[in-house]
Amino acid sequence: MQSKTFSVLSSCLLLIATVQGQLSGSVGPSTSISDKKAVKTCNVLDYGATNDNKTDVGQPIMNAFEDCGSGGVIYIPEGDYLIQEWVSLRNGTAFAIQLDGVIYRNGTTTSQGYMFGISGGSDFELYSSTSKGAIQGSGYLYHMNGEFTAPRLLHISDVSHWSVHDIALVDAPMFHFVIDDASNGEVYNMAIRGGNSGGLDGIDVSGDNIWIHDVMVTNKDECVTVKTGSHNFQIENIYCNWSGGCAMDSLGSGTNVSNIVYRNIYTWNSNQMYMIKSNGGDGEVSNLLFENFIGHGNAYSLDLDSEWSSMDTVDGDDGESRPPIRVICPEAIPCTDITIEDVDLWTEEGDSETYVCKNAFGSGACLKSDSSSTATYATTTTVTSAPSGYSATTMAADLTSAFGTDASIPIPTIPTSFYPGATPYSALAGSS
C-alpha cells in the first residue's frame, strides 16, 4: 500500500476553453418498459433457465433474445442463476432486460470476453425493477492466483438510445463495465464493487452524448473514466468509495475528446481525484469542466499529466512527488486557456504542499497567464498553510478497509446518496 498525500479538494472549477460541455440531446431508451412489455415478455424460465444456481442461464437469455430482441422484455425473475455461456446480444431493437435475479459466474468457464455483451442496435434498457439485480463475477477465484487477464462483466458497444440502471456489478475478474462507441446513453443508480487491485476498472466509457450519474465504485483502478473518442458527456454524483479515481486516459495517437463535464465527484481513498494521462501521441482534448470535487485520503488530487509514464518509477509519498495540483503539458504543444478557480486543497497529514506547472497557460494555481506566449517554463509553488475557506465534508459511510482479492466479495445494496448534499436524479427503481 502506497503512502499518500492526504489532501482535500473542495469545489474545484477547471475550465478549458470557454464553452461548457454538456449533453447534446436526449439520452436513454426511446420506448418505455411498459410499452415493451405490451409487445412481449420472454421469461428466461420458459427458455431453459432454472433459478437453482446450477443450470446455465446464458443460452436461455440468448434464446429469449431470439423472441424478444426486436421488441419485448427478457425477464430474469428473482432467484440465483449460474452463467456458463457468455451472453452476446447483437443488433437488438426496442428491447429490455429486466434482471431481478442474481447471476453468478460459473468458475469453470475459461473464455475471456464479456460475460454480458450488448452490441449494435438501439432502444435498449438493462435494469432491475427491485434494484436488487446483480452480476457476481467471483473474480477472486482468478485474483487469488495472481491472474488478472480474465472475463469482463458488462459491455455496451455501438448501441444508441439505451440505459443501464439499478443493478450491481460485483467482483469482476477484469473490468466491470465498458462502454464503447455508444451514443445517447444513460447510466445511473448503480453500485460497482470489485477487488482491491489495479486492472479491475469500474466504468470505462467512450462515445457521444452520455449521462452517467449516481454511481458508486469500489475497486483500485478506474472509477468513471473517459477514453478517447468521447464527446458531450455529463458525469455527475459519482462516489469513488475506495477506488482508483476518475480519469481521462490513456490518451495516445488520434486523441479526440470534447465537451466533458464532471460534477459532484466525491473521492475517498483513491489514487487520484482526477487525472488526465498521456505521454506522446497526438490529437486534442478541449472544453472540459470539472466542478465540485471533494476528496480525502487520495494520492493525487488534480493531475493533468503529459509525462505520465515517467511517474511509474517515482516512489511518491509526499506533497512534493505527488503534488495536489500538477499541470504538465508538452513543450511543443502547451496547454492553453486553463482556469483553476475556487480550489482549496490542504494536506491532512503534513504541513506543506506543492503545486507544479509546466508549459500550461491560464489562471490559477501555478499557471502562467500569458497564453499568447509559447515560451516553455516549469514552476513549483510551495504552500505552507491551509487556504482560507478550506473545508470539506466526508460521506457518512466511507469504506474503512478494502475488499481484498482472495475472498468472495458481498453484493452491495445500491446507495441513495453519492455526493454530500446532492440528491440522486432518480429514485431507486426498487423504492416505489
- Contact residues: ligand NAG, CB under 6 A: 53, 80, 82, 84, 90-91, 104, 106-108, 120, 138, 193, 216, 218, 231, 241, 256, 395-397, 399, 412, 415
Give least dist CB 218 to ligand NAG, A.
5
Distance in Å, CB of 255 to ligand NAG, minimum: 9
Q: Which is nearer to ligand NAG, 106 or 157 (CB)?
A: 106
Minimum CB distance to ligand NAG smaller for 118 or for 302: 118
**Rg of the chain (C-alpha set):** 22
Min dist. Cβ of residue 332 to ligand NAG (A) = 18
Cβ-based nearer residue to ligand NAG, 53 or 339? 53
DSSP calls for 121-153: -EEEEEE-TTS-EEEE--THHHHTTT-----EE
Which residue, 82 or 345, has its beta carbon nearer to ligand NAG?
Answer: 82
Q: Give the Cα separation of 284 and 262 in Å (integer).
A: 18
- Decide: helix, strand or coil at residue 55: strand
**Cβ atoms 246, 273 nearer than 8 A:** yes
The CB-of-130 to ligand NAG minimum distance in angstroms stands at 16
- C-beta closer to ligand NAG: residue 56 or 318: 56
Per-residue burial over 131-158, b = 16 or more CB atoms within 10 Å of its CB, e = otherwise: bbbbbbbbbbbbbeeeebebbbbbbbbb
Backbone phi, then psi, for 39, in 5-degree steps?
A: -80, -50
- Of 171, 221, 303, 305, the catalytic one is 221
Task: Decide: 122 and 96 in contact? Cβ < 8 Å.
Answer: no
**Residue 389 identity (one-letter amino acid):** G
Smallest separation, CB 296 to ligand NAG (Å):
13
Cβ nearer to ligand NAG, comparing 363 with 417: 417
Burial class (CB in 10 A: 0-12, 13-18, 19+), 364: buried
Nearer to ligand NAG, 254 or 387 (CB): 254
Quote the least distance from Cβ 193 to ligand NAG, whole Å: 6
DSSP codes joined into one string, 181-229: EEEEEEEEEEEEE--SSTT--SEEEEEEEEEEEEEEEESSSEEEEEEEE
- Specify burial of residue 279 (Cβ count, 10 A radius: 0-12, 13-18, 19+): middle
Give the 3-state secondary structure of residue 313.
Answer: helix
Task: Quote the least distance from Cβ 107 to ligand NAG, whole Å.
Answer: 4
Q: Which of 93, 114, 85, 80 is nearest to 30 (CA)?
A: 93
Q: Which of 166, 296, 303, 305 is catalytic?
A: 296
Catalytic-residue membership of 296: yes
Listing DSSP states for 62-112 in one string gives HHHHHHHTTSEEEEE-SSEEEE-SPEEEES-EEEEEEE-SEEEE-TT----
CA distances from 222 to 87, 143, 198, 370 (A): 24, 17, 8, 34
Residue 206 or 359 having the CB closest to ligand NAG: 206
Q: How near is the Cβ of 82 to ligand NAG at its closest, in Å? A: 6
Question: Cell numbers at residue 87, please?
Answer: 451472453
Q: Which residues are catalytic?
A: 221, 296
